[in-house]
């Protein structure tokens, strides 16, 4: 059996390599690729995706799995070999239902969709993107059809990002969360508004860049295996667990937007870089799910990056870089300003109290689009209507509304709920971290993050994708994904910020 296991690993390593090449092509397209290369890049992405899919769904891998499953059942269920067989079986059973021609067509559609979205967003012209989005959604419905029967048409899409989670599960979590967040926002609305005009000035971009580099270097980001670039929408990409690249973007009227984007993407990268090297070139490399991945990015961005101990360490340095903007601004004023609760048009710049409402809006629209109860041509109107209902804001144009996110142009329908779920998981993990590292605040005040990163490496990062998300969260925290620790965190934080 060991020879068969070795053969399986050999085949999976080849698939991993192909996926890495596709990832590198995608990174290049969003950063440095000349716009005239779009069509040819689409063909390249399609070829790579087809080859990877054909290899994964080959009869040889199916036969190897059939032979190895009885052997794997005798191993420790948490061993890497047992998990490799289990995870590969799950992927194989899904992918074998999907035709290779569809995979290639979908890769080509996504490659064409990104520049179409970027152009439409730059021109504030949703009709330019409408046909492309209609194509993406039509293909996602076809994809869901490969897995019929299902409880809900959205289930197969969600399962790609959150293995084992159903649409009904997410709705239940959000239904429990929504009224609590709305109530908190109402309490805050009754308090005096926090001034933050000093954040909305022109801040030198190079100094912002340099400060962001300083911060994530202290976090532990490995520049020998990563790099930082600019892109229209921040993301984490690359070709392997030893090549994890991040991007950021700058806002002309927000001096901290790029910093929080950089910290967010660094959180994703630290997760990927922290995988057990023994899992390299296998399906076990990467994150347990997108929600667990988001728990890491949101933790470094918010629970750490928006905390008072963090700025007790970094504020003097940041203030010295921008004396004209911050010279007369106290640490307390700055801390309250970066934690101001104010409904905003842009998801990635939303405060912690309102952020999840952005996600719930997108989830509801995605479900309606997949069900067919909402047509793509009516999407801008539906978006604006929900923005008014949930956040009391009306986008002045589609670039600040329905066109703001890159995800649909990448085919990532089923993805958005993972952001809010990640918030919940981050708070659950944070409670455990604070229990195990009782002097954590003091460490952060000293700019010391190695013990925190070590805890995450041991409990989350090293396991890669060995465990399903609910399984991993329960293993570490003692419960499945739960909204209450996050609400406890929000109430405690904003009680201090707003004197509730």
If residue 238 lies in a helix (H) or strand (E), which one and from where to where?
Answer: strand 236-240
Cα–Cα distance for residue pair 250/238, rounded to 1 Å: 21
Q: Which position has the token pair 């994150």?
A: 287
If residue 123 lies in a helix (H) or strand (E), which one and from where to where?
Answer: helix 100-123
265 is a catalytic site residue: yes
How far, CA to CA in Å, does 152 sit from each of 15, 155, 365? 30, 5, 15
**Would you report the helix, strand and coil content of the chain in percent, each value rounded to 5?**
70, 5, 30
Q: Are 29 and 298 in contact (CB under 8 A)?
A: no
How far, CA to CA in Å, does 195 sit from each of 192, 329, 333, 334, 336? 9, 11, 8, 9, 8
Q: Tell me the sheet residues that pair with 254.
A: 251
Among the listed residues 289, 42, 76, the one whose alpha carbon sits nearest the alpha carbon of residue 165: 289
If residue 243 lies in a helix (H) or strand (E), which one and from where to where?
Answer: strand 243-248
Phi first, then psi: give them for residue 240, nearest 5 degrees.
Answer: -170, 180
User: Which two tokens mark 181?
Assistant: 């967040």
Among the listed residues 167, 460, 205, 404, the one whose alpha carbon sits nearest the alpha carbon of residue 395: 404
Burial letters 289-313, b for 16+ CB under 10 A, else e: bbbbbbbbbbbbbbbbbbbbbbbbb
Among the listed residues 191, 178, 445, 179, the one whose alpha carbon sits nearest the alpha carbon of residue 340: 191
Cα–Cα distance for residue pair 247/234, rounded to 1 Å: 5
Q: Is 236 left (phi over 0), alpha (psi -120 to 50) or beta?
A: beta
Cα–Cα distance for residue pair 243/231, rounded to 1 Å: 17
Judged by DSSP in three states, 357 sits in helix
Residue of 95, 265, 352, 366 marked catalytic: 265
- Looking at the annotation, which residues are catalytic? 265
């Amino acid at each position: 059996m060991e020879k068969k296991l070795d053969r399986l690993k050999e085949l999976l390593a080849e698939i991993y390599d192909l996926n890495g090449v596709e990832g590198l092509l995608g990174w290049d397209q969003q950063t440095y690729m000349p716009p005239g290369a779009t069509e040819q890049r689409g063909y390249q992405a399609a070829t790579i995706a087809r080859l990877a899919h054909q290899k994964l769904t080959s009869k040889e891998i199916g036969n190897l799995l059939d032979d190895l499953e009885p052997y794997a059942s005798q191993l420790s269920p948490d061993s890497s070999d047992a998990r490799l067989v289990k995870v590969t079986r799950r992927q194989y059973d899904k992918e074998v239902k999907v035709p290779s021609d569809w995979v290639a067509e979908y890769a080509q559609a996504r490659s064409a969709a990104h520049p179409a979205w970027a152009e439409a967003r730059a021109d504030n012209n949703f009709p330019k993107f409408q046909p492309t989005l209609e194509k993406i959604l039509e293909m996602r419905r076809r994809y869901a059809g490969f897995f019929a029967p299902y409880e809900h048409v959205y289930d197969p899409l969600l399962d790609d990002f959150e293995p084992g989670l159903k649409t009904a599960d997410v709705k239940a979590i959000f239904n429990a969360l929504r009224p609590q967040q709305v109530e908190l926002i109402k309490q805050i609305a009754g308090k005096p508004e926090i001034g933050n005009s000093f954040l909305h000035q022109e801040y030198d971009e190079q100094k912002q860049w340099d400060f962001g580099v300083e911060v994530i270097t202290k976090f532990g980001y490995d520049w020998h295996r990563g790099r930082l670039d600019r892109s229209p929408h921040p993301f984490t990409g690359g070709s392997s667990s030893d090549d994890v690249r991040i991007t950021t973007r700058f806002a002309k009227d927000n001096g901290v937007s790029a910093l929080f984007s950089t910290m967010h993407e660094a959180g994703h990268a630290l997760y990927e870089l922290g995988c057990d090297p023994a899992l390299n070139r296998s399906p076990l490399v990467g994150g347990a799910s997108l929600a667990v991945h988001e728990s890491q990015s949101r933790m470094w961005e918010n629970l750490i990056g928006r905390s008072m101990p963090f700025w007790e360490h970094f504020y003097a340095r940041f203030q010295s870089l921008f004396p004209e903007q911050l010279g007369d601004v106290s640490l307390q004023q700055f801390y309250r300003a970066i934690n101001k609760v104010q409904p905003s048009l842009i998801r990635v710049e939303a405060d912690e109290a309102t952020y999840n409402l952005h996600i719930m809006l997108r989830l509801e629209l995605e479900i309606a689009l997949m069900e067919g109860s909402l047509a793509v041509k009516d999407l801008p109107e539906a978006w604006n209507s929900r923005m008014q209902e949930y956040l009391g804001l009306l986008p002045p144009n589609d670039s600040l509304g329905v066109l703001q996110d890159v995800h649909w142009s990448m085919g990532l329908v089923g993805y958005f709920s993972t952001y809010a779920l990640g918030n919940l998981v981050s708070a659950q993990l944070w409670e455990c971290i604070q229990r195990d590292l009782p002097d954590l605040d003091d460490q952060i005040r000293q700019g010391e993050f190695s013990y925190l990163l070590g805890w995450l490496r041991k409990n989350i990062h090293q396991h890669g994708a060995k465990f399903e998300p609910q399984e991993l969260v329960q293993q570490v925290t003692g419960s499945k994904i739960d909204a209450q620790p996050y609400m406890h965190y929000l109430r405690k934080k904003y009680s201090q910020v707003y004197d509730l």
